[in-house]
Chains A and B, each alone.
Chain A
Amino acid sequence: MTVVSPPLEERPVRRRRRGFGGGSRDAWPLVLPALLPVMLFSVYPLVYGVLLGFTDARAGLNAETAFNGLDNYVELAGNELFWNSFKIGLIWAFSVTVLQFLASLGLALLLNLDLRLRWLARTLALVPWAMPPVIIAIMWQLMLNPGYGPVNQILPGNVNWLGEASIALPVVIVVGVWAGMPQTTITLLAGLQSVPAELNEAAAIDGASTWRRFWHVTLPALRPVAVAITTLDLIWNFNSFALVFVLTAGGPGGTTMLPSLFAYNEAFRYGNFGYAAAMGNVMVVVIGAFLYFYLRGQMRRRLQ
């Protein structure tokens, strides 16, 4: 996965004939209708967005925009609210990713066994995937509703789960794990099913315990899939928006203000487009740097 180094530079397109296929000259007319809109409405805005982070752009229709170099970043460096939100974003992304991985691995291992009702569990595990984040948020609001929700009927005490500053973030993290389990579970299950059964049987005949077999046979074979899905989960979670936006809108008292929500408010409530884009740039750099080290570490481990 070359997530970090952008493979976007123009490469000379060589004409190669192979089998039935023609050269790239025949491909262009077919590919162009897909390529043009993507260039115009996603590559161009993205480049523009990165550049906006170095300007003082504001929302007004006739607002003048000028490059202001690193001014935005100097201002950001002193913006405690932003860094606080950044910290919340990291806590959220890492907790959700790790918990999601552990919970999904457990479920995938169970689904890989020959248990009854496996089909039901598998269907249930898929359902959150089919639900829009907005609806997942609405559903959990009902669940956690202090007056009506069943969570308060089952657990002792009368807690306002989403309204209490000290517990809102952990509660939101649990909802995030629920919402993201399907992808991770299904991917890990697919990975488990590609682990050759002979390996496990051979280890069992050699007298390895279930735990040792899991640790020394299954887990190493699962590593590539696990690395891929945790990487994607981390990116998705760090950039996620809709779920928390509807659940808490960043409250109470900013304790669940993910950086994406913070930047959204900055841009579309206060109209500071340039400043908000600068926040986006900082987020890309941090997540990019993290991915670089994580994936490089995993690559090295694999080569050894």
Chain B
Amino acid sequence: MTTPATTSAVGRNPFSRPLQYLALLVYMCFLAFPLLFLLSTAFKTPRELRSPDAGILPQSLTWENFTSAIEKADLYTAAGNSLLVAVTTTLIVTLVSLPAAYALVRFRTRLRAVATGWILLSQVFPFILIIIPLFLLMRNIGLVDTLLGLVIVYAVWALPFSLWMLQGYVAAIPVELEEAGAVDGAGRLRTLAKIVLPLLAPGIVATSLFTFINSWNEFFFALVLIQDPDMQTLPLALARFVGAEGQVQLGQLAAAALLACIPSLVFFLLIQKRLTAGLLSGAVKG
């Protein structure tokens, strides 16, 4: 993202720069204000939250909301469930899609077009068409209300996307490198392990993190497939928290919401710079 700005100095209106900053400020307020407000709510005491003319900022920083949100048994269990589901899904998806992505690119089959077609097609269909049969299927094999059922569903829905991203990264590795390895007498597996895998590492990290976040954040499938409170994931627990006590304990709700965001926020800040390049590479070379 270091391309020079496209506006040249020629014919620039002297007033345009302040206007640009003003516009940027408006955007930043619109984007940041809800976040700052969530943050400030999480630090407010119940008394501050109740009083009608409390300021927008909290009077002091108390961690009480965070501790009591964590102590809520169901949120704690839910976070554990979410973590288990997201980690398992990510491992399965990465292990399965890595060889497949490699094969799709290097072996030049029609499958690649089919896989891309399926990704696009599956976006068009409303989830209701998928979830009813999936629910029936899961009920028949006894996987409703189990984390395993959720893992299967998430893995299947993450697979095409993971394949799509990974094949972009594979395609970016010049095939000549592998040929050079073969010429030097390295076997195929050795070439893969010593040459391809290290080059692919950043792509694998980005793709698996993406899978992790998507499973961590997913709501709709979990809503339908999980009814047992002991099995619910974090988004489910939070949504039910809103219904049950949202009006009473805004501070705890805000704190819990913030805690639930941490994994994805850390991830996005880490890969911020690569995000554009990585996501678009799959699209362009697809």
Contact = CB atoms under 8 A, between A and B. Distances in A.
The answer to whether A binds B is: yes
Interface of A: 1-3, 6-8, 11, 13-14, 16, 18-24, 26-27, 30-31, 33-35, 37-38, 40-46, 48-50, 52-53, 57, 61, 103, 106-107, 110, 112-117, 120-135, 137-143, 145, 147-148, 150, 153, 178, 181, 186-187, 189-190, 192-193, 195, 197, 200-201, 204-205, 207, 209-210, 218, 228, 232, 235-236, 238-239, 241-242, 245-246, 259-260, 263-264, 267-268, 273, 276-277, 279-281, 283-284, 287-288, 291
A37 B261 contact: no
Nearest to A53: B129
A21 B196 CA distance: 14
Given A130-B261, A139-B257, A186 B275 contact: yes
A30 B99 contact: yes
B60 interface: no
13 contacts: A6-B121, A24-B108, A26-B103, A42-B122, A43-B118, A124-B32, A130-B268, A132-B261, A178-B31, A178-B34, A239-B125, A263-B128, A283-B128
Contacts of A143: 34, 37
Given A27-B103, A132-B264, A273-B132, A21 B275 contact: no
A53 B126 CA distance: 13
Contacts of B137: 41, 44-45, 48
Given A2-B117, A134-B235, A210-B13, A30 B37 contact: no
Contacts of B260: 132, 135
Given A46-B129, A148-B250, A218 B6 contact: yes
Contact of B126 (A3, A120, A280): A280
B257 to A, nearest CB: 5
Contacts of A287: 124
B37 to A, nearest CB: 6
A197 B6 contact: yes
A34 B250 contact: no
Lowest 10 CB-CB distances: which A-B pairs, in order?
A: A7-B117, A132-B217, A27-B107, A49-B129, A30-B103, A280-B129, A45-B133, A34-B100, A48-B133, A130-B268
Nearest to A202: B8
The SS class assigned to the A binding surface is: helix
Contacts of B224: 268
Given A20-B175, A115-B24, A201-B10, 12 more contacts: A26-B103, A31-B100, A37-B152, A45-B130, A122-B1, A130-B261, A131-B261, A134-B235, A148-B49, A210-B7, A239-B125, A241-B127
Interface stretch (B63-71, B155-163, B198-206): B155-163
B84 interface: no
B206 to A, nearest CB: 14
B123 A232 contact: yes
Nearest to B140: A61
A37 B108 CA distance: 22
Nearest to B36: A150
Contacts of B128: 49, 260, 263-264, 267, 276-277, 279-280, 283
A202 to B, nearest CB: 10
A280 B125 contact: yes
B257 A138 contact: yes
Nearest to B177: A20
B4 A197 contact: yes
A30 B100 contact: yes
Nearest to A40: B156
B27 A107 contact: yes
A50 B124 CA distance: 13
A247 to B, nearest CB: 10
B186 interface: no
